[in-house]
Each structure stands twice: as C-alpha cells, then as structure tokens.
Chain A
C-alpha cells in the first residue's frame, strides 16, 4: 500500500514536470513528435530506475557511514554521468534497434535535472531501498505521461493560428500551464 501511494504520488499527483518543474528543458525541447516523446520518456524512466538504485546505495551505504554527506552533489552528478555513459555502451553492444531508438536521447539525460532531482529527493526523504526504486519508476512514468500528452497536443497545435510573438516556447508554456491545472485535479486523491 505504501509503495502504491509513493508510485501514484510520484507519477500523477506530484508529477515531476508539472508540479516540481524538474526536466522542463526536454519537456519543451523534445515534445514536438509523439514518437520521439515516447523514446525520450522510456530512456528517462530506465535511467531513473537505475539512478534510484545506484544513488541510494551510494548515499546510504557509502556517504552516510563515512560522514561524507558534503560530497553528495559532486558524487551524485559523476555517478549519474558515468552511469548514463555505461548504459549507452551496453545498449549499443546488446541491441542495435534499441540503441537507435534511445541513442540520441541518452546523453541529453545526463543534464536533465529530473534525474539529479530524483537522487536528491530520495536522499532527502530517507526512502528505503524498495521505496526508492518505486519512486524512480513512478517519477519516470509521470515524466513519460506528461511528455506524451504534451507531444500529442503540440502535434495538433501545428495547425493552429498562434500570434507571432507567442510561437514556439511561449505557447508551449501556456499549454503546460493548462496541463498543470488539469493535473491539480488529482490532488485530493491521497
């Protein structure tokens, strides 16, 4: 039950993109086409689960026992960067089609603040190991959901007559605002 609540809270109620504002850059940048939005979402979810596992181990098994909490930021970012590189190499070796689907998006994920945000939040909230994995999975699902919804709306928006000053990023932000309002409706769920 606890785990289900963590999952729902991370994916829908406190959606990373629409209520924590983490990962806005890919949200605006990669939400042009549904197909690329799905690939980006899957790649991010995958990396998020791995990050949750690795950063939990790093923080609670190494940094806390040795009183090294002040190294949290540099160590997290280095671990995430090398993890993403490693994943990229493994995927390239194991599955070429998957590499072509996710490949270009993986390096982008390193600087996605949603990933580092996830690592920081789970250390801040003292989640257990299992809870961290569920939290990572939920956050990834929520990110994918927001990205795919956004991409579907933007594909329709191509045909709309938007004022010149609002073309591009501004109109995307307006749409995101309306989406955030819609997601507010889930707030009373828990």
Chain B
C-alpha cells in the first residue's frame, strides 16, 4: 500500500503545492470578480471555505452510501444546502457584504473548487483527512483572494481594508478596479507563480546532476 502523507502535510499542501487558484486553476470566476477590495476577498474566501469544509465532511461520511452513478447529483445537492446556509447567514448578518458580493455567494454552488475536492479527495478519504484537505484548500483560496484584492485595492483606490496607504500624490489606477485589472493582476500573479516553480525545479535538477557528476556509481547503486 502507498505510504500516506502526514495529517499536517494534508493541510499544508493546499496552501501552495496544489493552491486551488494558482495551481489547479479552479474557481476563477469568484477570484476575478469579487476581488475589488481585500474585505470582499476575505468574505468570499471564508464563505467558500465554510461550504468546502462542511460538504467535504458530509461527502466523506456518506461516501459508502452514495451510489457512484448519481454521485455528482448527490454532491451538488449537499453543496447547495450548505451554500443556502451561507447565503442566508450572510444576508442576515452582513447585508452590506452580501450586496457587494451579489450573485457570487449563491454561485459558490458551481465553484469548481468544491466539486473538484469532493470528487478528487473527499470521496476517497476518511473524514479527518477530508476536513484537513478542505481547510488547506480554503486557506490557499484565501491567500489567493487576499493577494489579488490587496493589489487591486492598493493601486486602484489607494487603500487597504479601507485605510488609506498610498499618499494623494499617487494617482489611483482606475483600471485596477475595473474588470480588465482583474485579468491583468491574475495573469501577473499566475505568471510569477509559474516562474517561481520553474526556477525551483531547475535548481533541483541541477543539484541532482551535480551529485551524479561527483559520484555516479553511488547514485546508480542507490537507484538500483
């Protein structure tokens, strides 16, 4: 049997290694749409994490009961239930935020992150691991949304979380809070993430080749 990774790694991998926004390229619509400001990004990520966490637990508990032919429909009903909870709570407690996010809270239902994790992870693993995986992915999503929201809010309206950061000398770049700014910011972030990963892989490869040049027999032996 394949050796299982530790519970801590199960959580931590969602932050960077399989970050839902940058690496899996899932859930793009909310990432681009709601990140006009940091606070919107945080609210969206928390709502998504809530849904992801509870639906992962639920699906992981029910995985033996759901026949595999109708599993997608069953997952969607479970997810829709938790999205309704999140939507109604937000409408009641934070009406302003709920208005700012518009249809994107109900649209968590079709966010590919949730269905993707349900299908790829929660339906195959136990409850604890699924919960940790959901939290990790939620945290990764939060990181992505806060970074996006931070950059766009800082350059688009000179503020962070509503406090003015850049002085009045700096002309706000209106394009950043327009839809086009979302595309540009996300493209830049994704490009840098790719460049970083490429560099890391290159360094790792060079290390191996150096080792090989020093003592070829040793590595050959260890591989055999």
Contacts and interface: CB of A to CB of B under 8 A. Distances in A.
Considering residues B107, B110, B195, which has the most beta carbons from chain A within 10 angstroms of its beta carbon? B110
B106 A111 contact: no
Contacts of B87: 73
The main secondary structure of chain B at its interface with chain A is helix
Contacts of B110: 77, 111-113, 116
Interface in A7-23: 18-23
Contacts of A28: 25, 28
B182 interface: yes
Nearest to B78: A74
Nearest to B102: A124
Contacts of B81: 74
Interface in A112-150: 112-113, 116-117, 120-121, 124
A71 B85 CA distance: 11
A186 interface: no
A63 interface: no
A181 interface: yes
Contacts of B83: 73
A21 B182 contact: yes
A166 B180 contact: no
A19 B148 CA distance: 17
A117 B107 contact: yes
Interface string A148-183: 000000000000000111100111011011101100
A78 B29 CA distance: 21
B187 A166 contact: yes
Given A73-B87, A113-B29, A170-B194, A177 B183 contact: yes
A20 B33 contact: yes
Interface string B78-114: 0011011001100000000000001100110111100
Contacts of B33: 20-22
Interface in B149-192: 175, 178-184, 186-188, 190-192
A187 to B, nearest CB: 10
B77 to A, nearest CB: 6
Contact of B190 (A21, A74, A124, A169): A169
A178 B184 CA distance: 8
A62 interface: no
A53 interface: no
A44 to B, nearest CB: 14
A177 B180 contact: yes
9 contacts: A21-B30, A22-B29, A72-B84, A77-B80, A111-B110, A113-B107, A164-B198, A165-B195, A178-B180
Interface of A: 18-25, 28, 70-74, 77-78, 81, 111-113, 116-117, 120-121, 124, 163-166, 169-171, 173-174, 176-178, 180-181, 184
The 9 A-B residue pairs with the shortest CB-CB distance, nearest first, are A177-B183, A173-B187, A165-B195, A21-B33, A74-B80, A180-B180, A165-B194, A24-B28, A170-B191
